[in-house]
Amino acid sequence: MGKAVAVTRLELAPAQLRSAAADARAAEPAQVRRLLAIALVLEGVPRQQAAAQCGMDRQTLRSNVYV
């Protein structure tokens, strides 16, 4: 398994990401899944588990947040 990617942008706390996900729930389901997965990762949940809980695989989660 590869090296963990460090989170470098911390403008939004997990609670703020969840709030943004609630606001976008009806319009953009994929965006909601991404926001919730990122919130889980910021709280210390392993990426594999966060991705699985949000209906994606680990690589998809990484691709969504990688700049």
Segments making up each domain of the chain, as ranges: 14-65
Q: How many helices (H) and strands (E) does the chain have?
A: 4, 0
pLDDT digit string, tens, across residues 29-66 = 888 999 999 999 889 899 899 999 999 998 988 887 76
pLDDT for 66 equals 64
**pLDDT level of residue 28 (50, 70, 90 thresholds):** confident
pLDDT of residue 67 exceeding 50: no
b/e per residue, 17-52, with b = 16+ CB within 10 A?
bbebbeeeeeeeeeebbbbbbbbbbbeebebeebbe
